[in-house]
Amino acid sequence: MIESKACTRRDFLVFGSIGSLLAPVAHLFPWWKPKDIVLADGRFQIIRTKHPKRHYILIHGDETTARDVLTKHMETHPGTAFLTESKTRNIPIDSGQVDPNRIFSRNGAAISLQKNNPNWNARQMQDALDLIEGQRDRFLHEVMPHHGELLVALHNNSEDYSVNSEAAISDMRSLKQPDNPHAFFLCTDPGDYEILATSPYNVVLQQHVRAPDDGSLSRRAAARLARYVNLEVAMGDAARQQEMLTWMEDHLPFVS
C-alpha cells in the first residue's frame, strides 16, 4: 500500500486515477480529457460541459457556499470547472498539509508548508517543495484557459478578510458597497476591471501587486498576463455570490 502511494506521488505527479498512468505521455493523446487532476496529495474533480467558454475553480474545500454556487452554475453555463475534493481549506501532502492557494510560487509554498507543518525536518520540507515544483506547470496548464478566455475562482471569507485587505495593494479600486466589504471581485485584467467597475459591486484590479508574491493563483495569473476573476462573498451568502456571478457572466466577454 505504501509503495503504491509513493508511486502515485513520485512518478505520476499530476493527473489522478487512470490519468496518473497517462500523464507522462498525455501529449501523445490530445483527445484524452482527464476527469481529475492532482495537486500535492489532493485531487480536483473536473466538470466539462459541451462547448466550454470559461474556466472555473473552487480551490478551498471548506468554502461550501462557493462549492454549491459553482456546482449549480455549471448546470446552465458552458465551461470547465475544477473542484477540490478536499472538505478542508488545506490539502494533504506527505504527512502534513498545505494551502492549495499558496503553492503557485516556490516562496509561497515554503511559507505555507512551514506554517502548517512546524515539526517537519529539512528533508520533508525539501521533498514537499520538489513534489509541488514537479506538479505546478502541468496543473496551471490545465487550469488556466488559453486564447484570452477567463478563469473564475469562487471563494468565501469570514471576519478577517475583505476587500479592505486588498484595496491598498491594488492598482485600482471601485468600492460601490463599502458597507458590504466581504463581497467583491478581484481581477487581473484592466479590460475586465473597466467593465466590472460599472457594476454595483466592489472591485479591485491587481495587475501589478505591490506586495511579496504569496503564491496565490491570482498572482500567478497576473504574472502570466492571464484573465482571472476572483469572486469573494461572506460564507453563507449564496444569493449574493450567485447574483454577482450572473452579472459577471452577462457583461464580461468570453474572449478578450
Which residues would be at the binding site for Zn ion (CB under 5 A)?
60, 155
What is the helix (H) or strand (E) element at residue 137, kind and residue range? Answer: helix 122-143
**Cβ distance to Zn ion smaller for residue 34 or 61:** 61
- Residue 187, SS3 per DSSP: strand
Rounded to a whole number of angstroms, the minimum distance from the CB of residue 158 to Zn ion is: 10
Contacts of 223 (CB under 8 A, 6+ apart): 213
Residue with cell 454595483: 200
Rounded to a whole number of angstroms, the minimum distance from the CB of residue 60 to Zn ion is: 4
Rounded to a whole number of angstroms, the minimum distance from the CB of residue 156 to Zn ion is: 7
Q: Label residue 236 left, alpha or beta by phi (over 0 means left) and psi (-120 to 50 means alpha).
A: left
**Cβ distance to Zn ion smaller for residue 124 or 242:** 242
- Residue 173, SS3 per DSSP: strand
Distance CA 221, CA 227 (A): 7
**Cβ distance to Zn ion smaller for residue 20 or 162:** 162
- On whether the CB atoms of residues 75 and 38 are closer than 8 A, the answer is no
Rounded to a whole number of angstroms, the minimum distance from the CB of residue 154 to Zn ion is: 8
CA atoms within 13 A on the CB side of 175: 15
**Cβ distance to Zn ion smaller for residue 19 or 100:** 100
Rounded to a whole number of angstroms, the minimum distance from the CB of residue 144 to Zn ion is: 18
**Cβ distance to Zn ion smaller for residue 99 or 189:** 99
**Closest alpha carbon to 251 in 191, 166, 207, 204:** 191
